[in-house]
Amino acid sequence: MRCNYKTRYTCSTNIAFDLEGNVVRNIVFTGGCNGNLKAISKLVDGMTVEQIEEKLLGNTCGRRPTSCADQLARAVREAYDQNR
């Protein structure tokens, strides 16, 4: 299932991804640091919601309370919980 998440407090504005059970694939960020976000997307492609949370949840960017990586962890958890 294709999911979309509107990010908060980050340079990226949206994250789209496929959720197959608890496995996340085909992550696409809109906006943000293009090269870094493409790399994150490739590195976590095929990981479970739990694995992404373990690696990325709580990561901050500068003085912001979140980051694009943290927002991805929050997005996949929200989508998974809503579709259980």
State the pLDDT at residue 30.
Answer: 98
Q: Is the pLDDT of residue 31 over 90?
A: yes
Residue 37 lies in domain: 2-82
How many domains in the chain?
Answer: 1
Q: Is the pLDDT of residue 84 over 90?
A: no
Q: What is the pTM of this model?
A: 0.96
State the pLDDT at residue 41.
Answer: 98
The pLDDT tens digits for 42-67 are 999 999 999 999 999 999 999 999 99
Residue with tokens 């919980």: 81
Between CA 66 and CA 58 the distance in angstroms is: 7
Between CA 72 and CA 27 the distance in angstroms is: 9
State the pLDDT at residue 1.
Answer: 96
Q: What is the mean pLDDT of the chain?
A: 97
Query: Do the Cβ atoms of 50 and 70 come closer than 8 Å?
Result: no
